[in-house]
Amino acid sequence: MSTTPLPPAPAPLGSLPGDASAGLAGYTAAGLGAVAAAALGVMYAVEVPRGGPYVFGAVNDFTGGLFFAASIPVIVQIHRRLTAGPWSRAALGATVTASAGAAASGVLLSLGLIGFAPSTVVSVAGIVTQAVWTMLANHRLSGRPPYPRRLALAGRAIGAGMLVAVPVVWAGLAASGAPALQTALLALGGAVGGAAYLAWPVWLAFAGRRLTGSAVHRRPARGAAATPA
């Protein structure tokens, strides 16, 4: 009886070590994103008209920060499906760094340890960086089995939508001298960005399902390493 370890499945094909834990992180991020979105909705519906006390705003900041942190393992694990290279490693490093900064910023803001303005800058940087990564990574993985094509198309659309929405919203905020234009820009940017904002946790949930499934399919292969001599 001899044991011969099977070679690891090459990225972007097959499963990879760490898929199970990253899949769990994807589910966690999806749940946190749902809570953050709900808290944001309640804040604007209830607290903003009353001028406070913004308890739900703090909940949004805190859970949003945790959301950024939980999304990092998913990003890392999916990025491993891409061809390695200096630009790829630099892109992953920038995305992880921006996500970690946004995570810390959200938590610190919820605790009153950082101001709203600097926190917003860091959070927007995290959002934009994740959007760029989501769009480009899923574009490269599209049509490369066994990575799900629908997951790739959805990720690419979500990233592109957020990248379109952010400058449109900023342009709307800057167009204070033209009320009609400002309203149109904010409505357009808000609609596109809102759709991407709500879809991002859903995408992470499906990514978590995909990664968890990869880990399940990987276990029989490991068990089959023992073969008769």
pLDDT of amino acid 144: 82
pLDDT of amino acid 228: 40
Kindly state the tokens that stand for 11: 């990225």
C-alpha 6/C-alpha 14 separation (Å) is 13
Residues pairing with 3 in the sheet: 226
pLDDT of amino acid 102: 98
Kindly state the tokens that stand for 147: 């990575």
- Give Cα 190 to chain centroid, integer Å: 19
Residues pairing with 2 in the sheet: 227
Which tens digit of pLDDT belongs to each residue from 115-131?
Answer: 999 999 999 999 999 99
Does position 113 have pLDDT exceeding 50, yes or no? yes
- Whose tokens are 């390493």? That residue is 225
Give the pLDDT band of residue 3 (cuts 50, 70, 90).
low
Give the pLDDT band of residue 85 (cuts 50, 70, 90).
confident
Which tens digit of pLDDT belongs to each residue from 132-165?
Answer: 999 999 999 998 888 899 999 999 999 999 999 9
Which tens digit of pLDDT belongs to each residue from 158-202?
Answer: 999 999 999 999 999 999 889 999 999 999 999 999 999 999 999
Which tens digit of pLDDT belongs to each residue from 39-83?
Answer: 999 999 999 999 889 999 999 999 999 999 999 999 999 999 988
List of residues 6+ apart from 137 with CB closer than 8 A: 78, 79, 82, 155
CB 179 within 8 A of CB 213: no
Return the HEC string of 185-219. Answer: HHHHHHHHHHHHHHHHHHHHHHHHHHHHHHHHHHH
Kindly state the tokens that stand for 20: 């199970």
**CB count, 10 Å around CB of 137?**
23
Amino acid symbol at 1: M
pLDDT, averaged across the chain? 88
C-alpha 65/C-alpha 103 separation (Å) is 4
List of residues 6+ apart from 203 with CB closer than 8 A: 134, 151, 154, 155, 158
C-alpha 229/C-alpha 224 separation (Å) is 13
Does position 227 have pLDDT exceeding 90, yes or no? no
* Sequential DSSP letters for 167-183: HHHHHHHH-TT-HHHHH
